[in-house]
Amino acid sequence: MSNKLKTMINYISFIITNKLNIIVYISSSLVYWFAIPFRKYGRNIVYNYAIQNNIYINGFSCNKFEYTDTNYEKLYLIINPKNNINTGYIVYKKVNKLEYLFAKWFIWIWLDDKADMDLFDTSDLIYMKNKKSLNKYYYEYIAMRKNSYNSFQLGDKQFDYNYFLPALVHFFRMKECNFEYMYNYTTDSNKTFKNKYFGWKTYIDINSSKQVYKKYIKNKKRS
């Protein structure tokens, strides 16, 4: 493949995924709520396929994985690279591409696995408390059950939270979702380019020591 053709394909891919970002954001007002009941299944399928096929997901693939057998069940142990502590696990399943694509596009991309309480983040609780939109006792009840890690770090160990109001607030305040974590970052330099208007900027992921490329669009300077 010539360099010109490869560059053209990369430009087209960049534009399409950015357009899809907008579509996902608009569509999520409906699809998000249908995806929620199936989130544990979706996460397990996507995580298994990502591990088995070396797919980079920002916030997830920074972890180190080990394989073991526990109680006759095959698990991927998630090891926090900062302190070498086992934070969670993925129940092993051999996943074909068709099931992966179904779980990814109909369930997983609409969620936010960086939220530390399954469907919403602790920062949302603080926001709601400051806005006096959350009962004090309700806040304390939820805060007591806060996980120290998010779904990327807990995997199938993640506890299901079923608090509608905080989930609703997180949904409206959510700036990123799993779609962005998968498609706005890459470790493959062959997919990247850079010009004065938009492209991919490089940084080192401190957790995994990998060189990661992140999408950017340059803001216009105000006159």
User: pLDDT per residue over 146-183, tens digit each?
Assistant: 667 889 989 999 888 777 777 777 787 777 899 999 99
Question: What's the pLDDT at 222?
Answer: 42
- Taking 60 as the threshold, does the pLDDT of residue 220 lie above it? no
Q: Which two tokens stand for residue 182?
A: 């998968």
Question: What's the pLDDT at 171?
Answer: 81
Q: How confident is the model at residue 64 (pLDDT cuts 50, 70, 90)?
A: low
**Least confident window among 59-63, 90-94, 99-103, 105-109:** 59-63
Give per-residue pLDDT as tens, 120-136. Answer: 877 776 666 666 656 66
Domain-wise residue ranges, the chain: 3-112+167-216
Question: What's the pLDDT at 208?
Answer: 66
- C-alpha to C-alpha distance for 208 and 222, rounded to whole angstroms: 37
Cβ neighbour number for residue 60 with a 10 Å cutoff: 24
pTM of the model: 0.85
Average pLDDT over residues 98-122: 91
Question: What's the pLDDT at 102?
Answer: 97
- C-alpha to C-alpha distance for 214 and 223, rounded to whole angstroms: 28
Question: What's the pLDDT at 183?
Answer: 93
Kind and range of the H or E run holding 141: helix 136-143
